[in-house]
Amino acid sequence: MFIKKVAVVGAGTMGADIAYVVAQAGIPVVLKDVTEELLQKASTHIQELFSSRVARGRMSPEDAADRQGLIHYTTDLAPLKDVSLVIEAVTEKLSVKQAVLQEIAAVVSPLTVLASNTSALSITALSEAVSRPERVAGFHFFYPAHMMKLVEVIRGETTDEETVSTLVRFAEEIRKIPVVVKECPGFVVNRVLMAGMAEVLRFQSETGVPYGEIDQAITAHKLAPMGPFVLADALGLDVALAVSKTLTAAYGDRFRPGPQLETLVSQGHLGVKTGQGFYSYR
């Protein structure tokens, strides 16, 4: 199926970036969240991304304005009625995502592909929320979605071939590199990333070595482009904790992080998005 119009549901850290990527590729996109305030925040972020492209000479101001005009911000479901693909990017919680998918399925065409940007949850469990589970798949971007090329296309137990091939073609159309992966908790990349993250968190809590020293050592030795604490703050500590819990439940203690994540999240410190995480951004 050819994707003519997309909806991105959830305009947070990932959703706003994904809407930018889709509009940047010249495809109209509806961006939905629950409040005007959250949409305003997303719109400011998207404007900054386009302005930065213009400032770097990668795009004319006229093209940037045209592409920004392709994004329709809404708190309503009605504008989703004629989209051929929905990318769900709401909170990483199965019950929340299932409720959102049900709401969406009630307004879109039965042919619309329902893709989830979940980091680790079961696509099969998500698909059980709707009456056409064969149209549900994972479509997992990486942070930051406007820079990271890879997208995991995840086939659930009931996902049909047409849905997978539609998503692979769409990923290429928005200039990403799709990799089709079989379903398992955390898929491929987060299984690797979160195993490392859990070990670093345990090491830090056992030794008390400051976060900054660990981050510096890792980047200085070119083990990763950014340190794990900087990365976790940017991803969102609530997301990192939710993914750790899914993976610990599935694979056991090797994914259990040190206690710092749980403590910070319980204090409302979610990283860059709240101004405080492992580091302060105020």
Ligand X SMILES: NC(=O)c1ccc[n+]([C@@H]2O[C@H](COP(=O)([O-])OP(=O)(O)OC[C@H]3O[C@@H](n4cnc5c(N)ncnc54)[C@H](O)[C@@H]3O)[C@@H](O)[C@H]2O)c1
Q: How many CB atoms lie within 10 A of CB 207?
A: 9
Residue nearest to ligand X (CB): 12
Compare residues 54 and 248 and give the one whose CB is closer to ligand X. Answer: 248
In the range 240-269, which residues lie near ligand X by CB under 6 A? Answer: none
From 112, 119, 122, 166, residue interacting with ligand X (rule: CB under 6 A):
119
Strands 71-74 and 85-88: unpaired
- Cβ atoms of 167 and 19 within 8 Å: the answer is no
**C-beta of residue 85 within 8 angstroms of C-beta of residue 6:** yes
Terminal CA-CA length for the chain: 46
Establish if 233 lies at the interface with ligand X (CB under 6 A).
no
Which residue in 45, 140, 221, 269 is the catalytic one? 140
**C-alpha 57, offset from chain centre:** 28
Does 40 participate in binding ligand X (rule CB under 6 A)?
A: no
If one asks whether residue 101 binds ligand X (CB under 6 A), the answer comes out as: no
Instruction: Tell me which of 8, 21, 30, 38 binds ligand X, using CB under 6 A.
Output: 38
Cβ atoms within 10 Å of 135's Cβ, excluding its own: 26
H or E segment to which residue 255 belongs = none
Minimum distance of ligand X from residue 129's CB (angstroms): 13
Contact 156, 126 (CB under 8 A): yes
Taking CB under 6 A as the criterion, the residue among 15, 133, 178, 277 binding ligand X is 15
Strands 136-141 and 150-155: antiparallel
Nearer Cβ to ligand X (27/240) = 240
Structure tokens at 117: 């940007």
The answer to whether 45 is a known catalytic residue is no
- Report how many residues bind ligand X under the rule CB under 6 A: 28
Distance CA(200)–CA(233), nearest Å, equals: 14
Instruction: Tell me whether residue 7 or residue 59 sits nearer to ligand X (CB atom).
Output: 7
Sole window of 59-67, 90-98, 158-166, 172-180 interacting with ligand X (rule: CB under 6 A): 90-98
Pick 58 or 81: Cβ nearer ligand X? 81
Specify the residue, 3 or 39, whose C-beta has the smaller distance to ligand X.
39
Position 33 contacts ligand X (CB under 6 A): yes
| Minimum distance from residue 235 beta carbon to ligand X (Å) | 4
Residue 98, both tokens: 């299932």
3-class state of residue 192 by DSSP = helix
- Counting Cβ atoms within 10 Å, is residue 134 exposed (0-12), middle (13-18) or buried (19+)? middle
Site membership for ligand X, residue 152 (CB under 6 A): no
Q: Which of 29, 83, 92, 133 binds ligand X (CB under 6 A)?
A: 92
**Residue numbers of the site for ligand X (CB under 6 A)?**
9-15, 32-34, 38, 89-92, 96, 100, 117-119, 140-143, 235-236, 239, 273
Show which residues are catalytic. 140
